[in-house]
A and B are shown apart, each in its own frame.
Chain A
Amino acid sequence: MERIILDVDSAGDDILAILFSAGCADIKLEGVTTVAGAAGGIEQVTNVVLNTLTLAGRNDIPVAAGAYRPIVGNAKADMEAPVHFEKQLQARFGDRLQGFNPPAPEPACKAMGKHAIDFIVDTVRANPGEVSIVATGPQTNVALALQMAPDIARLVKQIVVLGGCFQTPGNMTPVSEYNIWADPEAARVVLRSGAPVILVPLDVCEDNRVAASMLTRDDLNDLASLYPASKAVSYVCETFPIYIDIWREFFELVGFPLDDAIAVVAVLHPEFFEMTEPLFVDVALSERLVRGQTVAFQGRQILPFSGPKTTRVCRNLDGRKFLSLFKNSIGSLS
Chain B
Amino acid sequence: MSKTVKTIPVLMDCDPGHDDAIALVMAHRSPVIDLLGVTTVCGNAPPERTTSNALRIMQFIDATDVPVAQGCVTPLARPLVLGTADGPTGLDGTTYLPEATMPLVPMHGVDFIAKILREAPEPVVLVPTGPLTNIAMFLLKYPELKHKIDKIVLMGGAFYRRTEYITPTEFNIFCDPEAARIVLDSGLDIIMVGLDVTMHVLVEEEQFAELRKIESPLGKVVLDWLKFYEKLHRGQMGVGGALHDPLALAVVIDPTLIETREAHVEIDLTGTYTFGATVADFWNERKLGNNTRIATRVDSGRFFELMYSLLRD
Interface residues of A (CB under 8 A from B): 67-69, 71-72, 115, 117, 140, 143-144, 147-150, 185-186, 188-189, 285-287
Q: Could you say which residues of chain B place their CB within 8 Å of the CB of A117?
A: 141
Q: Could you say which residues of chain A place their CB within 8 Å of the CB of B143?
A: 68
Q: Could you say which residues of chain B place their CB within 8 Å of the CB of A286?
A: 270
Closest-CB distance, B102 to chain A (whole angstroms)? 23
Find out whether the CB atom of A72 lies under 8 angstroms from the CB atom of B178.
yes
A186-B77, A188-B77 given; A71·B108 CB < 8 A: no
Docked Cα-Cα span, A72 to B72, in Å, equals 18
Find out whether the CB atom of A148 lies under 8 angstroms from the CB atom of B72.
yes
Find out whether the CB atom of A147 lies under 8 angstroms from the CB atom of B269.
no
Which of these, B73, B76, B108, B137, contacts A185 with CB under 8 Å?
B76
> Other CB < 8 Å A-B pairs besides A144-B137, A144-B140, A148-B108, 19 of them?
A67-B140, A67-B141, A71-B77, A72-B77, A72-B182, A115-B141, A140-B140, A143-B77, A147-B72, A147-B77, A148-B137, A150-B73, A150-B74, A185-B76, A185-B77, A186-B77, A188-B77, A285-B270, A286-B270
Q: Could you say which residues of chain B place their CB within 8 Å of the CB of A147?
A: 72, 74, 76-77, 137
Closest-CB distance, B222 to chain A (whole angstroms)? 34
| 10 A-B pairs whose Cβ atoms sit less than 8 Å apart in the complex | A72-B77, A72-B181, A115-B141, A143-B77, A144-B137, A144-B141, A147-B74, A147-B77, A148-B110, A287-B270
Q: Could you say which residues of chain A place their CB within 8 Å of the CB of B140?
A: 67-69, 71, 140, 144
Q: Looking at chain B, what size class is its interface with the partner chain?
A: 10 to 19
**Which residues of B (108-125) have their CB < 8 Å from a CB of A?**
108, 110
**Which residues of B (128-149) have their CB < 8 Å from a CB of A?**
137, 140-141, 143
Docked Cα-Cα span, A286 to B268, in Å, equals 11
Q: Could you say which residues of chain A place their CB within 8 Å of the CB of B77?
A: 71-72, 143, 147, 185-186, 188-189
Closest-CB distance, A114 to chain B (whole angstroms)? 11
Docked Cα-Cα span, A188 to B269, in Å, equals 15
Q: Could you say which residues of chain A place their CB within 8 Å of the CB of B141?
A: 67, 115, 117, 144
Docked Cα-Cα span, A147 to B110, in Å, equals 11
Closest-CB distance, A288 to chain B (whole angstroms)? 10
Q: Could you say which residues of chain B place their CB within 8 Å of the CB of A68?
A: 140, 143
Q: Could you say which residues of chain A place their CB within 8 Å of the CB of B137?
A: 144, 147-148
The 7 closest A-B pairs by CB, nearest first: A185-B77, A286-B270, A72-B178, A189-B77, A71-B178, A71-B77, A68-B143
Docked Cα-Cα span, A37 to B110, in Å, equals 24
Docked Cα-Cα span, A117 to B74, in Å, equals 16
Find out whether the CB atom of B269 lies under 8 angstroms from the CB atom of A72.
yes
Docked Cα-Cα span, A72 to B266, in Å, equals 12
Docked Cα-Cα span, A115 to B137, in Å, equals 13
Docked Cα-Cα span, A286 to B271, in Å, equals 9
**Which residues of B (234-278) have their CB < 8 Å from a CB of A?**
269-270
The residue in B73, B77, B182, B270 that gathers the most chain A C-beta atoms within 10 A of its C-beta is: B77
Q: Could you say which residues of chain A place their CB within 8 Å of the CB of B181?
A: 72
Closest-CB distance, A71 to chain B (whole angstroms)? 6
Closest-CB distance, A121 to chain B (whole angstroms)? 9
Residue of A nearest to B142 (CB): A115
Closest-CB distance, A284 to chain B (whole angstroms)? 10
Docked Cα-Cα span, A251 to B32, in Å, equals 63
